[in-house]
A = this chain, B = another copy of it.
């Protein structure tokens, strides 16, 4: 099965937004034994979209379109696909009802223009959209090809792919096709070249393959295996997973695939029956934001204090003002007092703190941009680590939040 993706949108074409949807979908297709051959981006232009579609139909079996399903005039993907495939489309009652209910729940009358979102192929399948107003659709042709039409907003696109498209494709390609499986190991405490050095001898295999990727404050190792069936692929992956963990050392890999660092930390807190309080200065609330992205965190997360001003450090966390005058707000002593203050004022089992220079201003010759102290306090002890992070303001915040979460993870058994 050969697949092709057509991304639709002038903002994508002009580089104003980066196409994360196509990347997401592309990563999943090999698991189904579907190989990607082309990816095309066109603007909101019906002629060029039709041109790209005709060509895709001449060389690929499965074509995905992404974007252009909204209610406005320049959302024309579904209409163009229907026209190229000569499918007259029909109104999908359930989707029309959902649309009306969506607007009714907000006390707004539905603009008539929105009704076009409920039009679906006469030959094919509706792919319901649990999180948006526009359903997707699979147009099926007489010669066995399929055009799958998906919405552009990533928050709608990702769950639709996971919950509707993958099951549809699995059914379509059949159970017995050879498959490709992959798994991602996630590492937070090491840089890309350190990781590569440790696992170099495992990077040249053909099946499974191992490839390292770096993102801000995190390194990923992707294991990909080919096999006749899922259990055989899983066996190959499990074996390589063990070898990589052995080469990297105990407790270096913090999670796999969708296990974020914050998720692992919340699970460890739950398991250890510990509560957490956070005192943030340079990370500005990012650690609390990440922890509260995890459903169920309220069982372990008591409170966060973003003590941006010195006065707030004193009033909300009880940090001694003389200490800040003596050592400065960006100091080992301040980080220690903040972590202890977070525990004291909330009664939490663990307190974690950050204080540093996120930049671009605020640096001094002794305290450069990127200098960050992270404190961790429990009922026995308080430790502080000093870090020097690189990058712009948001990178420093991200790297510091990552280091704080990694310290928390390693602190618990």
A residues apposed to B, CB below 8 Å: 9-20, 22-27, 30, 36-45, 48, 51-52, 55, 59, 70-74, 102, 105-106, 108, 111, 113-114, 131, 153, 155, 159, 182, 184, 192-194, 196-197, 203-204, 211-216, 222, 278, 280, 283-289, 291-293, 295-298, 301-309, 311-312, 315-316, 345-347, 358-362, 388, 390-395, 397
Contacts and interface: CB of A to CB of B under 8 A. Distances in A.
Given A215-B153, A302-B309, A315-B346, A38 B52 contact: yes
How many copies of this chain are found per oligomer?
Answer: 2
A303 B309 contact: yes
A48 B38 contact: yes
Nearest to A42: B38
A284 B289 contact: yes
21 contacts: A9-B213, A11-B213, A14-B182, A15-B23, A15-B25, A16-B27, A17-B23, A36-B43, A37-B45, A38-B42, A38-B52, A73-B196, A74-B203, A153-B215, A153-B216, A155-B395, A159-B392, A285-B292, A293-B393, A303-B316, A316-B316
Given A73-B203, A193-B72, A293 B13 contact: no
A161 to B, nearest CB: 12
Nearest to A358: B292
Interface of A is mostly: mixed
Contact of A304 (B40, B285, B301, B345): B285
Contact of A306 (B27, B41, B285): B285
Contacts of A41: 38-40
Contact of A295 (B42, B55, B361): B361
Contact of A390 (B15, B114, B131): B131
Nearest to A23: B15
B284 A291 contact: yes
B316 A308 contact: no
